[in-house]
Structure 1
Amino acid sequence: MKRKVDLVILSDVHLGTYGSQAKNLVNYLQSINPKTLVLNGDIIDIWQFRKRYFPKSHLQVIKKIISLAAKGTKVYYITGNHDEKLRKFSPVELGNISVLDKLVLNLDGKKAWIFHGDVFDASIQHTKWIAKLGGWGYDFLIVLNSFINFCLVQLGRPKYSLSKKIKNSVKKAVSFVTNFEDTAAELAIENHFDYVICGHIHQPQMREIKTEKGSCLYLNSGDWIENLTALEYHNKTWSLMEYEKQNLALAQEDESVNTEIDPVSLLASIKMMS
């Protein structure tokens, strides 16, 4: 029985990279029946897209999203920095799917401001080549971490996150996350939003932030590389879904998904567009 949810927000899936936990995301999407699904940026990683690497599980995510839209779910695809090529086409509507750069929703009389968040990142705005280089390094780190965790599991030891350890040990990284959250909240408060919802920094979060001008609830949907999290809003209440606590059975691979499907070529052509 699928769980009904009013609103689901997820981000930073990075389809097309080795670190993307696409199979787990398919499992999660198959377990819910959302009225509205918001994909808050970096769903398809056009920066690091490789035509030779786009496995069936990644295509299953796309197919599942399209299937949800066909069955009545309103899908909003908000562009991020890794899929910024899509900003050339936004805003655009394709049936029940809308592609746009930001979104405002009215949730039971309260205003929610939703955007990816790369606008706050100076490395993205001014030195994009450094950000891309960092993305490739992060992808390698995730692959290395996967091998380490495989070994740890075989030895009966708990998994370990290299990137989280690095982030938490570097004061500048911790400071960046805090500044990111505070900046988003301050702008939301100034513009009279009750909720501000971002992705981008791969840091799942739900916290109330107060300033002299008021307060708002800052939310971040995390990612589907390490944290495997999503935001859910149902019956006027927000919650942070953590996949590893859901105990969902691994879904069977959909044999109807054709690995020669044209979306791969389409993504390659989008990447080549100037």
Structure 2
Amino acid sequence: METRQRYKTIWLSDIHLGFKDCRADYLLDFLNSVECETLYLVGDIVDLWALKRSFFWPASHYDVVRALFAKASSGTRLVYIPGNHDEPLRDYVGHILGPIEIKREAIHTTLNGKRLLMFHGDCLDEHIRLRKWEHLVGDVAYDFLLFLNRWANVLRNRFGHNYWSLATYIKQRIPNARNVISVFEEAAVKEASRRGLDGVICGHIHQPALKNIKGLMYCNDGDWIENCTLLGETYQGNLELVQWTEHQTLLQSMADNGGPAKAQLLPLRRAG
């Protein structure tokens, strides 16, 4: 009999269905291996920007949508918080699309009573204050990074190696990129603090993280373009940042009382 890993709550964002670099294969394996009570989709699930440039919708992307609806049909609460790449769905905030609730943002209360603000994260772009030319250069450079990432992993796969994000490796070594990430993280927890909440859960910047910033919990569930990561809340009251590729790796965990994050790099058992 198949056994599935169970979480109380799961957060996914920045899947970018309709974009050629979406790792739908890994996401499908995850969705078919895990169960939860509530699944939050924290923006950029469908990449309408990419679909407008060039239509791309392989069978695996359709299968992801079907798997999400199957979870909702089997009793999982599904909440969709649109991002900037699927912004038109914000017109339906407050409505229910089939089994899916559409919200602009939300507040999640953890098992230990911590209240966490949830939004995609593009609302914080004004804090980064990049000039227009920097945005353009950044878009071109990021597309090139994804091109390198794609072909690096084609070669790695050919030689029997697991997935590895070259894009993230390079990005983390560019001082300006690190500064942008830091500014974004501090702006996110500042907004949670302004509202009297205990922390924030977001996506947007494709930089998974689980940490304590100025006494508040900062949780970024990452993406399925570069990192293939998710955030999960266990029934023991912990938050876990997990990478799901050929092997499942627990990157960081944090007691949901806001205790310090600790990188563990422990492999998780594959369901099945």
Q: Assess same fold via TM > 0.5.
A: yes
2:16 corresponding residue in structure 1: 14
Q: Which residue of 2 aligns with 1:188?
A: 192
Matches within 5 A, 1:28-107: 28-49=30-51, 52-107=55-110
Whether the aligned pair in 1 keeps the contact of 2:127 and 2:184 (CA below 8 Å) is no
In structure 1, the partner of 2:171 is 167
**Separation (CA, whole Å) in 1 of partners of 2:94 and 2:128:** 22
Deviation of 1:140 (Å): 5.0
Aligned to 1:147: 151
Query: Which residue matches 1:272?
Result: none
| Distance in 1 of aligned mates of 2:129 and 2:78 | 27
Q: Secondary structure at the match of 1:219?
A: strand
Aligned equivalents of 1:128, 1:105: Cα separation in 2: 35
- Asked if the contact 1:221–1:229 (Cα under 8 Å) also holds between the matched residues in 2, the reply is yes
Deviation >3 Å, runs of 4+: 122-141, 152-162
What is the CA deviation profile of residues 107-159 of structure 1, one whole-angstrom value per residue up to 9, with x for unaligned ones? 23221110000111139999899858855763453234222332244456776
Structure 1 position 2 matched with structure 2 position 7? no
Higher relative contact order (Cα pairs below 8 Å, separated by 6+ residues): 1
SS at match of 2:180: helix
Q: Over aligned residues, Cα RMSD in angstroms? A: 2.7
Gap runs ≥5 in structure 1: 252-274
Q: CA deviation at 1:187?
A: 1.8
For residues 59-95 of structure 1, the C-alpha deviation after alignment (integer angstroms, 9 at most, x for no partner) is: 1110011110111100011110111111122121134
* Structure 2 letter corresponding to 1:10: L
Cα distance change, pair 191–101 in 1 and its aligned pair in 2 (3 A): same
Q: Distance in 2 between matches of 1:28 and 1:174?
A: 29
Aligned residue number for residue 220 of structure 2 = 220
In 2: Cα distance, 1:133 partner to 1:76 partner: 34
Of 119, 125, 135, 1:121 maps to: 125
Amino acid at match of 1:31: S
CA contact (8 A) 2:128 2:180 kept: no
In structure 2, do the counterparts of structure 1 residues 161 and 173 end up closer, same or farther at CA, with 3 Å as the change threshold?
same
5+ residue gaps, structure 2, are 249-268
Whether the 8 Å contact between 1:17 and 1:53 is mirrored in structure 2 is: yes
- The 10-residue stretch of structure 1 (148-157 or 127-136) with the greater mean CA deviation from structure 2: 127-136
Letter in 2 for 1:118: D
Preserved CA contact (<8 Å) 2:7 2:34? yes
Instruction: Compute the TM-score of the two structures, normalised by the length of structure 2.
Output: 0.81
